[in-house]
Amino acid sequence: SQTIHQWPATLVQPVGSPLSLECTVEGTSNPNLYWYRQAAGRGLQLLFYSVGIGQISSEVPQNLSASRPQDRQFILSSKKLLLSDSGFYLCAIRTSGNTGELFFGEGSRLTVL
């Protein structure tokens, strides 16, 4: 079965600083990859998804970006963080051939001060 690694688990950054969150996957190949943000412990907002290397779809315009440099690596970045970027960031995968369920990593909690 697949394993999803996210790091760092916790991050405190000042406003205006850059961001890099990383997600790597083991145990599967060519997955669909997703970044979600969860604010205040409630609803999930889909930020980006990728169906292959270098292929990124953005769902919400904002100061975040995503990249997929390798098949099983998905990176969420920002050049300048805003206070509103604080939240719990979840990486998820959908493996080929399944019926659509996503499997989630353990998340990265970002606090922007």
Partner 1 sequence: AQSVAQPEDQVNVAEGNPLTVKCTYSVSGNPYLFWYVQYPNRGLQFLLKYITGDNLVKGSYGFEAEFNKSQTSFHLKKPSALVSDSALYFCASRYTGANNLFFGTGTRLTVIP
Name the residues that contact partner 1, by CB under 8 A: 4, 32, 34, 41-44, 46, 49, 51, 57, 59, 88, 90, 92, 94, 99-107, 109
Residue pair 77/23 in contact by the 8 Å Cβ criterion? no
CA-to-CA distance for 86 and 31, rounded, in angstroms?
Answer: 27
Minimum Å gap between C-beta 56 and partner 1 is 12
Minimum Å gap between C-beta 94 and partner 1 is 8
Minimum Å gap between C-beta 96 and partner 1 is 12
Residue 42 CB partners (closer than 8 Å, separation 6+): none
